[in-house]
Amino acid sequence: MNLPVRHLQFSGRAVSPLTAAVGAQGTARPTRHAGFTLVEIAICLAIISVALVAIIGVLPLGMRTQRDNREETIINQDATVFLEAVRNGARGLDDLTNYVYAITNFRGIYPGGTLNTYGYTFPNNIFTNIVGFLSTPEYTDVTNGTPIPNLLSGGYSNHIVAYVRSLSGPAVEKPPQDNDIILGDAFGYRILCVNAPVATDTNLYSQALYPNGPPAYVTRLAASLHELRLTFLWPQQPNGSLGAGRQTFRTLVAGQILQLTNNNQTLYFYQPQSFTNAVTPL
């Protein structure tokens, strides 16, 4: 079967496509196609390399930012639990012993400046009510450990430090997990707990200005209003060092601090109540 040959009109003569592609010297002319030269490819590779180096350099920064945001979220959630428990004088929160594994009281006596350290760790028969330890007043007298408004007449200065594994976070780190490796890698922090009396003008305690003692209002206010400060330091490293994280939560608590004794150990609990200044009529 013969197929018709399609001809092209070229210079007044009918030629076939094959003849049209042949030059004057009888050689076929190559068809021109767009492409990249080796120089252009090398330049593109250089640009891509610079971009990749920049992206790889940003990745660690992004991962650190994500880690810091996650840690701050955990601290904010845990701080709410501890702040409300101490402020409300909560009792029976024995579950906190799963997370608070040690408490230390750095106690100094004034005058004299002698510093003693008292530590409580779990398990221990007196280490059951964490809130009772965290509510220890900043100033207590030497004789009975009763809360006092200042150290002008002497007393103890208490500095409570709690060592905590996070309440929030991955479930694999939570009880009944007892693997030391997992617990060692869990996110932990320290809490500096301060239960300070309300700040007052120390001139009110001057015998020269007030020979009969400070006004009754100041005395009642110092005994019934306290500033609760919880300073979180994180992360707690396995070697005992601390990271750069630091955040303080504070609130005012209207009420007195109740003193109890359990297994020869003094515990303290806030008793929230309204403060009123009663004046005896003349």
Q: Report the pLDDT value the prediction gives residue 201, as an integer from 0 to 100.
A: 67
Q: Report the pLDDT value the prediction gives residue 149, as an integer from 0 to 100.
A: 83
- Which residues fall within 8 angstroms of residue 6, CB to CB, at 6 or more apart? 16, 17
6/26 Cα distance (integer angstroms): 21
With 0-12 CB in 10 A as exposed, 13-18 as middle and 19+ as buried, what is 178?
exposed
Low-confidence residues in the chain, pLDDT < 50: 1, 5, 7-11, 14-15, 18, 20-24
Closest CA to 252 of 229, 280, 224, 227: 227
pTM of model > 0.85: no
The domain spans of the chain are 70-272
Check if the beta carbon of residue 107 is closer than 8 Å to that of residue 266: no
Q: Report the pLDDT value the prediction gives residue 254, as an integer from 0 to 100.
A: 86
Q: What is the pLDDT of residues 53-86, one digit of tens each?
A: 888 888 888 888 888 999 999 999 999 999 999 9
Q: Report the pLDDT value the prediction gives residue 7, as an integer from 0 to 100.
A: 46
